[in-house]
Amino acid sequence: MIRESSLEGEVFVWHDLVYEGKRNVGWPTDETLQQRVTMLVEHSGAAMKPDGVLNTLRIQYEFIQKIEVWDEIYLWFDACLFDMSMLCHLIACIESTDLNLVVVDSYPAIEPFHGLGQLTPEQLASCVDRKQPVTVEMIRYAKQVDEAFATQDREAFEKLAKAKGVPLRWVPAAVKRWLEEFPSKETGLGRLEQMALEAIREGHSSPGSIFKAVAAKETPPQYWGDTSLWGKINGLTEKEPPLVKIEGPAGRLPQWQSNLDWKQFKVIAV
C-alpha cells in the first residue's frame, strides 16, 4: 500500500517474529542467525525452508547496514505486539537518531483499529504527518525492550508492562499482551490458544470461522495473523491429551508456503 500511495522512495519490509524464542540482543552473529533459522522453521511446522529463511534474514540485516545511503528513513509500524517488538529490535540494531518514526495506533472513523492494513493507500500516506524523530532516549529504551524479548525475561516484561511515561508509549501495552501468552497456571494455555479452543468448542470448525470468532474477542491492536493462529491450533493437536483434531488433506493446518487450501480443513474439539 505504501508503494501504491503518493509516498516516494524504496520500500523494505522486515520479516521476523522477534517476540518468539530466545536470541541474542541486537545484531546476530552467524551462529545465532542459524539458531534463529532453526527456531523459525520449527515454529512454522517446517512449512518454511531453512535456506529461504536464512537468506531472508541475511538480506534484512545487510539492508540496515547500508541504511546511511538514504537521505530520509521512515520506520512505519503499528502499535501491536508484533510491530513494537520488531521496532525496538531495529532501533537497537541501527542505533541512529537519523530516523523518522511513524506509528499509527488509530484512524478517524475506523473502529476497532488494528493497524495499517485497514487503511487505503491515500489514508496511509496522510499518516506521514505523524512522524517523529527517533531520539537517544528511544534508542536506550528500545535496547531494554529488545533485551527482554531476546532473553524472554518475564520479570523484565512485568516491569516494562507497568512503566509509565516511556519514550515509546505503545510498548507497555504490547508487552502486557505478550505476558498473556505465557501459559496459564489453570489451563496451561496462552490467551490466543485459549480463545481458539473456546471458539472451536462453541462450534466454529472452519479455519475462517475460527479466525473471525477469535478476532472478535481480541483486544485491539491485533498482533497475530492467520498463520500465527493456525500454528496455535496445530499446537492444540499436540497437547497430551490432544484438545482438538484436524480433518482434511493433512494433519496440520497449512502455514506459510503450502499447496494446501485451508478452506478444505475442519477443526473439531476432542
Domain identity same for 165 and 51: yes
Q: Which grid coordinates are listed for 116?
A: 495499517
Q: Is 267 exposed, middle or buried (0-12, 13-18, 19+ CB in 10 A)?
A: buried
Residue 158 shares a structural domain with residue 226: no
The answer to whether residues 153 and 247 belong to one domain is no
Q: Does residue 61 sit in the same domain as residue 152?
A: yes
Regarding whether 34 and 70 lie in a shared domain, the answer is yes
Confidence band, pLDDT 50/70/90 cuts, at residue 155: very high
Domain boundary among 144, 179, 214: 179
Q: Is 10 within the bounds of a domain?
A: no
Are 209 and 76 part of one and the same domain? no
Pair (114, 218) in one structural domain: no
- The string of DSSP letters for 8-67 reads -S--------TTSS---SSSPPHHHHHHHHHHHHHHTTT-S-HHHHHHHHHHHHHHHHTG
Mean pLDDT on 220-242: 94
Closest C-alpha to 15, from 65, 69, 66, 55: 55
Q: Answer yes or no: do 224 and 251 share one domain.
A: yes
Is the residue at 13 inside a domain?
no
pLDDT in tens, 144-153: 999 999 999 9
Q: CATH code at 245?
A: 1.10.10
259 lies in some domain: yes
Domain around 153: 30-179
Residue 6 within a domain:
no
Q: Are residues 251 and 164 in the same domain?
A: no
In tens, the pLDDT along 189-203 reads: 999 999 999 999 999
| Same domain, yes or no: 69 and 155 | yes
Q: Domain total for the chain?
A: 2
Say if residue 196 is exposed, middle or buried (CB neighbours under 10 Å; 0-12, 13-18, 19+). Answer: buried
Q: Does residue 23 have a pLDDT over 80?
A: yes
- Phi and psi at 204, nearest 5°, equal -80, 115
Among 20-24, 101-105, 236-240, 245-249, name the one with the lowest average pLDDT. Answer: 20-24
164 and 199 part of one domain: no
